[in-house]
Amino acid sequence: MFHCLSGMRLLSAFLLLVTIASCKSGNELVTVSIDENYSLEIPSHMEKTDELREDAILQYRNRYRNCYVIAFKQSSDKSLRDYQKEAVSVLTNYLDKPAITDSGITKLGELTAFYTGVFGKMEQEQIYYDHLTIKSPPHFYEVCVWTRGADRRDRYGEELKKILFSFKPN
């Protein structure tokens, strides 16, 4: 009898470990190519979509968390600052009382980029955008992440910024 109970406890412990090990947190990062030259690290809990913007070269979302990632590639001979101003104006035009919360030039390896944080309301809901414009002549890449509401910004903001700054050569 004792031997049988000991075996059942061992089997139960083994099954518990297998169950725990097979559960994914969804926070594992997956390398996703933007194009033949660059990639981003996207959490595995986000799903690929094509419903955000038809001109985007990359789109991911998590509807439950209300977190989104989108990327664009454009050819332009503008300066980084001029291109960035134009790109961010597209965001601010959709928002009521938009505010730039943070901005500045940064380096991503050998590439120069301009980061901009944007906040505003859309249909009475707070929207928080983080936008990165990257110069890679003759192209510019834009990566934008966003979420809705201050509570989600507090919960997922750091994860979204990690996605943004994971932009790197393949």
Q: What pLDDT digit, counting tens, does each position of 99-139 carry?
A: 999 999 999 999 999 999 999 999 889 999 999 999 998 99
Q: What are phi and psi of 157, to 5 degrees?
A: -55, -45
Q: Note the pLDDT of residue 23.
A: 42
| 160 vs 11 pLDDT, higher one | 160
**Would you put residue 93 in left (φ > 0), alpha (ψ -120 to 50) or beta?**
alpha
pTM: 0.82
For the residues 5-10, what does the mean pLDDT come to?
51
Report all structural domains of the chain as residue ranges with CATH numbers, in order of start. Answer: 26-169 (3.40.1000.10)
Q: Is the pLDDT of residue 39 over 60?
A: yes
Average per-residue pLDDT in the chain?
A: 86
Q: Note the pLDDT of residue 25.
A: 52
Tens-digit pLDDT profile for residues 14-32? 443 333 333 445 679 999 9
Q: How far is CA 93 from the centre of its chain?
A: 21
Q: Note the pLDDT of residue 9.
A: 56
Give the confidence band of 170 by pLDDT, cuts at 50, 70, 90. confident
Q: Give me the percent of the chain exceeding a pLDDT of 70.
A: 85
Give the confidence band of 158 by pLDDT, cuts at 50, 70, 90. very high
